[in-house]
Amino acid sequence: MELFRLIAGVVIFIITFYFIITEKYPKSIVSMIGAGLMVITKVLSEHEALSIIGHNLEILFLLMGMMMIVEIMSETGIFQWVAIKIAQLVRGNPVKILVFISIITALFSAVLDNVTTILLVVPVTIFLAKRLEVDPKPFVLLQIFSSNIGGTATMIGDPPNLIIASLSGLDFNDFIINLGPIIVINMAVLLGSAVWYFKDKLQVSNELKAGIMELSLERTIKDKKLLIQSLAVFLVVIIGFLTNAVSEFGLAIIAILGASLLLFLSKKKPDEIFSKIEWDTLFFFGGLFILVEGLENLGIIAKLSEFLLVLTNKNVHIASPLILIMSTILSPIIGSIPHALSFGKILVGIIGEFHGNTQSLWWALTLGACLGGNMTIVGAAANIVGAAVAKKGGIEITFMEFFKWGLIVVGESTILSLIYLYVRY
């Protein structure tokens, strides 16, 4: 019976991941079917499956709350206003637009989430590039890279960070303090490289620049009252996140309460906002939690943990760069979220065996999982969404085209992250 459970669990996990990676079917359906099969084959009991969902409700409700807040905010037109305002402040200079909108994308991704940021900002960027009669592709690619880099800086910016926070016990401020500096360095190098490469390729006439200056900012703001309400609630929520270590209120409670307050103030119909929640992502998370718990029940994660201990000789300074490099390679292949969850479970089992600053192991996992996602077009959700939005705008980004640029960006970020981990920890 034990052998059957072991074989069944491994086969279900591999087949499920194959369909998640290839995206032949919606990932939420695939992960839920895989989770259900784990229970049917007795790899874990129904009670254990429901318990692991219950244990991770904070992640699910935090995501849900932030999705609702961002959805309401997006209706105000504030994101489009910011993009056009930046373009006008730099007087239509394409290289400066490329740089400053990338910075804004990184900042938005840090406090919202990178998928939502890409959905809101990329269409405006394509519009601006077309008005300037330059190739929109560099703008879209740089925004995708910036969103993944910026999202790495905070606990809520990128889904892998939520998982790592849940497993490690690290709080909102821990992420900002430990990851903020390396993310700023990464963005500086990325933008410096972009300016060096594109400064002679993105030259436009003064007439085209003047066309950007003529765009009406007033028309982008659709509801000033809702904008004020949204910004006020969003600010309160962010303050709640920053002070949660003192207040001891969970991030999920803060996010859901903020979303509920904004729904009340805006007088939006709840079903209208609820229908736009990314349920696909939430159900994907739920199924994934059960799948990985099934592997843990079979003892596979424990065996992998023991192997990592032997391989690194319990030395933090060997383990940190190894985890970073492994995560950078695996994340673009299997996806940043599945990798963060499965490898995070491995770390939970062994982190007490290491000597020295063991926090560096979590930061190595975070940097590898989030920044490694920039390597391929399927490495992170923001990449897939960004490519899809670009295609709707008539811009085709192929797998190899993305990989060519992604390899350079990930190469830079990996070298910088290795140096940072060595110097700081």
- The per-residue pLDDT for range 360-380, each reduced to its tens digit, is 999 999 999 999 989 888 777
Cβ–Cβ < 8 Å for 12, 41: yes
Is residue 101 packed enough to be buried (19+ CB in 10 Å), middle (13-18) or exposed (0-12)?
A: buried
- Cβ within 8 Å of residue 169, ≥6 positions away: none
pLDDT value at position 33? Answer: 93
Question: Which of 27-36, 69-78, 412-421 shows the highest mean pLDDT?
Answer: 412-421
pLDDT score recorded for residue 3: 77
Mean pLDDT of 132-152: 90
* pLDDT reading at 119 higher than 80: no
Q: What DSSP element (H or E) covers 119?
A: helix 114-131
Reported as a pLDDT band with limits 50, 70 and 90, residue 148 is very high
Q: Which of 323, 86, 303, 324 is closest to 215 using CA atoms? A: 86
pLDDT per position as a tens digit, 198-244: 887 778 777 877 878 877 777 788 888 998 999 999 899 989 888 87
Q: Which region, left, alpha or beta, applies to residue 394 given φ > 0 means left and ψ of -120 to 50 means alpha?
A: left
Question: How does pLDDT run across 380-401, given as a tens digit for each residue?
Answer: 778 877 887 788 778 888 888 8
Query: Does the pLDDT at position 415 exceed 90?
Result: yes
Q: What's the rounded mean pLDDT across residues 403-425?
A: 93
The whole-angstrom separation of Cα 357 and Cα 355 is 7
Q: Which residues of 282-319 are buried (b: 16+ CB within 10 A; e: fewer)?
A: bbbbbbbbbbbbbbbbbebbeebbeebbeebeeebbeb
pLDDT at 25 over 90: no
Q: Is 315 helix (H, G, I), strand (E, B) or coil?
A: strand
- Residue 247: pLDDT above 90? no
Longest pairwise C-alpha distance within the chain: 76
Express each pLDDT in 308-338 by its tens digit.
777 888 888 888 898 999 889 888 877 777 7
| pLDDT for position 18 | 82
| Res. 419: pLDDT tops 80 | yes
119 vs 258, more confident? 258
Residue percentage of the chain with pLDDT more than 90: 23
pLDDT value at position 188? Answer: 95
Rounded to whole angstroms, the Cα distance separating 40 from 307 reads 30
Q: Which of 300, 349, 301 is nearest to 6 (CA)?
A: 300
- Beta-carbon contacts of 2 under 8 Å, excluding residues fewer than 6 positions away, are none
Measure the N-to-C terminal CA separation of the chain; round to a whole number of Å. 46
Burial (0-12, 13-18, 19+ Cβ within 10 Å), 28: buried
Neighbours of 424 (CB within 10 A): 12
Mean pLDDT rounded to a whole number for the chain: 85
CB atoms within 10 A of CB 38: 29
* pLDDT tens track for 35-63: 899 999 988 888 888 888 887 788 788 88
For position 37, what pLDDT does the model report?
92
Residue-wise pLDDT for 156-194, tens only, equals 888 889 889 988 888 889 999 999 999 999 999 999 998
373 Cβ contact partners less than 8 Å away, ≥ 6 residues apart:
148, 331, 332, 335, 336, 379, 380, 382, 383
Give the span between the Cα atoms of 342 and 11, in whole angstroms. Answer: 16
pLDDT above 70 (res 1): no
Most confident of 9-18, 98-107, 154-163, 281-290: 98-107
Percentage of residues of the chain with pLDDT beyond 70:
99
Local structure of 133: helix, strand or coil: coil
pLDDT at 337: 79
Q: How far apart are CA 46 and CA 79, in angstroms?
A: 44
Degrees, nearest 5: CA angle 200-201-202: 95
Question: How many secondary structure helices (H) and strands (E) does the chain include?
Answer: 22, 0
Q: What is the pTM of this model?
A: 0.80
Q: What mean pLDDT is predicted for residues 351-366?
A: 87
